[in-house]
Amino acid sequence: MASYEGYCVKCREKREFDGEVVEMANGRRSAKGKCPICGTGMNRILGKSA
């Protein structure tokens, strides 16, 4: 797992979270993980792979 920065809508703050890269239904990549404070699911859309 890699570390990413994302916005937690429950905490209303940017947080670092450990996530894994997954491919969404439309073919784009995103990092999915959980907020380390409240446990809410977090998602960050990533750029195209190199």
- Stretch 16-35: mean pLDDT, rounded? 94
Which of 49, 37, 45 has the alpha carbon at shortest distance from 16? 37
Q: Is the dihedral of CA 14, 21, 42, 40 positive or negative?
A: negative
* Model confidence, pTM: 0.78
pLDDT digits (tens, 9 = 90+) for 36-50: 999 999 999 998 765
Q: Please report, for the chain, the start and end positions of each structural domain, with discontinuous segments joined by +.
A: 2-45
pLDDT digits (tens, 9 = 90+) for 5-20: 999 999 999 999 999 9
Collect all residues with Cβ–Cβ distance below 8 Å to 12 and sequence separation of at least 6.
none
CA-CA distance, 26 to 19, in Å (whole number)?
Answer: 19
